């Protein structure tokens, strides 16, 4: 009788240990997932404003694949290289503003202020202003803001300008964000090797 009781105790102890091990692993794995640092996970869109994190104090540039633009002058079309840098300084519920810096074929420079909006569907409209009372030229841009599942943001835009009624420029392009240390921040496409700060210092 004592032998059967001993076997029962041993079996009961083994079952209790197995149950304790299984139930200690499950909560630990859940906790490990929930404590993953936010910086190592992709950006998650805010439910009320899915684009806010794309804009805050951000700098956007033209990648090398879409530098091509076309100049129009009295009926003649001429291909040109257009590097434009946007420095967005404010954003509020779909409205954003900042300054735009453009170099056509590296040497022809212009700087404008802009104000734009993006809808909840990602549709974008931007107007660029000269910032001086002596010029009434307006440049308009339409496009969309795209956010990948990884959280990466990018614009695709179509821009058109008409300075004098007989000349202008058309350019469609991607606009991608850059930060200090990025390849295109240190070597801005279409500028002959300038960094973004060196490019902006010309204006």
Q: What's the pTM value of the predicted model, to 2 decimals?
A: 0.75
pLDDT at 165: 75
Domain chopping of the chain, boundaries: 2-35, 52-200
Cβ proximity of 169 and 72 under 8 Å: yes
pLDDT at 50: 79
pLDDT at 203: 94
- Identify the bridge partners of residue 79 per DSSP, sorted by sequence position: 70
- What is the pLDDT tens value at each position of the chain, 203 positions in all? 554 444 444 444 434 433 333 433 333 332 333 332 332 334 444 557 879 889 988 999 999 999 999 999 988 999 999 999 999 999 999 999 999 999 999 999 999 999 999 999 999 999 999 876 556 677 899 999 999 988 899 999 999 988 777 889 999 999 999 999 999 999 999 999 999 999 999 99
In sequence order, what DSSP letters do the residues of 71-101 get, joined into one string? EEETTEEEEEEEEEEEEEEEEETTEEEEEEE
Instruction: List the structure tokens of 97.
Output: 């503003």
Residue 31's contacts (CB-CB under 8 Å, 6 or more residues apart) are none
> Where does 52-200 sit in CATH, by number?
2.40.128.120
pLDDT at 75: 87
Nearest of 166, 119, 168 to residue 139 by alpha carbon: 168
pLDDT at 12: 42
pLDDT at 138: 78
b/e 74-95 (16+ beta carbons within 10 angstroms → b): eeeeeebbbbbbbebeebeebe
């Amino acid at each position: 009788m004592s032998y059967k009781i001993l076997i029962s105790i041993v079996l009961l102890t083994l079952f209790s240990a197995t149950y304790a091990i299984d139930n200690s692993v499950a909560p630990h794995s859940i906790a490990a997932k929930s404590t993953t640092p936010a910086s190592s996970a992709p950006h998650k869109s805010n439910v009320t404003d899915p684009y806010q994190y794309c804009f805050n104090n951000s700098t956007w540039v033209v990648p090398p694949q879409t530098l091509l633009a076309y100049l129009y002058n009295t009926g003649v079309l001429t291909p040109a290289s257009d590097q434009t840098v946007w420095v967005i300084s404010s954003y509020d519920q779909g409205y954003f503003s900042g300054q735009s810096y453009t170099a056509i074929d590296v040497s022809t420079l212009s700087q404008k202020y802009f104000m734009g909006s993006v809808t909840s569907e990602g549709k974008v409209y931007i107007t660029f202003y000269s910032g001086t009372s002596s010029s009434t030229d307006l440049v308009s841009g339409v496009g969309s803001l795209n956010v990948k599942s990884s959280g990466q943001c990018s614009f695709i835009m179509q821009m058109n300008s008409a300075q004098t009624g007989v000349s202008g420029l058309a350019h469609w392009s991607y606009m991608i964000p850059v930060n200090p240390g990025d390849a295109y921040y240190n070597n801005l496409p279409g500028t002959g090797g300038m960094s973004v700060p060196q490019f902006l210092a010309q204006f």
